[in-house]
Amino acid sequence: MNEGMYRENILDHYKKPHHRGKLPKPCPQGHAVNPFCGDDITFYLKVSKEKVEDASFDGHACAICTASASMLTDEVMGKGAEKARAIGKERVLELLGVSPGPTRLKCALLPLKAFKLALYSHLKKKMGEEEKKEIEEAGE
């Protein structure tokens, strides 16, 4: 059987996502939508003393996108803001353990975009051009 992209780790995160739900307001949030398929992810953060103390996500998305969001909440938890900021496309694909084609790549990267938007709304900084370019393709 060709397992394709639906490997055990992805399915585990999809079926039982970690940190799904909202964090108490007010908190930094990032919202990203893939207009092609309607994937819709909001990322919530709690940052104090420049450290990510809590992270969660909510929304409606496909398995790849949901798993990516779930893994990303684990990944950023407890990291310093600067370290969390350095997480990019490569790391997300490493976590997923698959190399999706161009269409599904958008699904995989949409949570990263939502996370970065949340983080930058906290940092009150503008995203660097390189960083922007990397997640721009993920959606609106």
Partner 1 sequence: MAFDVDRIREDFPILARKMNGKQLAYLDNAATTQKPAAVLEAMRSYYENSNANAHRGGNALAEQATDIYENARKRVARFIGAEPSEIVFTRNATEALNLSARFCVEQMGAKKVLLTEMEHHSNIVNWQLAAKGKASIKYVKMRDLGGICKEDVTGLGADSVFSFTHASNVLGAVNDAALLCRLAKKAGALSVVDGAQSVPHMKVDVHKIGCDFFAFSAHKMLGPTGLGVLYIRKELAGLLEPVFGGGGAIKSVQLSGTSFARAPQKFEPGTQDVAGAVGLSAAIDYLKKIGMGAIERHVAALRGACVESLKEVGGVHVYGNGSKTGIVSFNVGRLHAHDIAQIASDDGVMLRAGHHCCQPLMKAIGASATARASFYLYNTKDEAQQLAAAVARAKKVLS
Residues that bind partner 1 (CB under 8 A): 2-6, 11, 14-15, 35-40, 60-64, 103-104, 107
Nearer to partner 1, 28 or 59 (CB): 59
**Shortest Å, Cβ 62 to partner 1:** 4
Q: Can you tell me the distance from the alpha carbon of 10 to that of 8, in angstroms, rounded to the nearest whole number?
A: 5
Residues 6+ apart with CB under 8 A from 72: 43, 55, 57, 87, 92, 95, 111, 112, 115
Q: Which is nearer to partner 1, 60 or 83 (CB)?
A: 60
Residue with Cβ nearer partner 1 (62 or 127): 62
CB of 54 to partner 1, least distance (A): 27
Give the closest residue to 71 by CA, choosing from 14, 136, 7, 27.
Answer: 14
Burial 29-53 (b: 16+ CB within 10 A, else e): bbebbbeebebbbbbbbebeeeebe
Decide whether 35 or 97 has the Cβ nearer to partner 1: 35
Least distance in angstroms from the C-beta of 55 to partner 1: 23
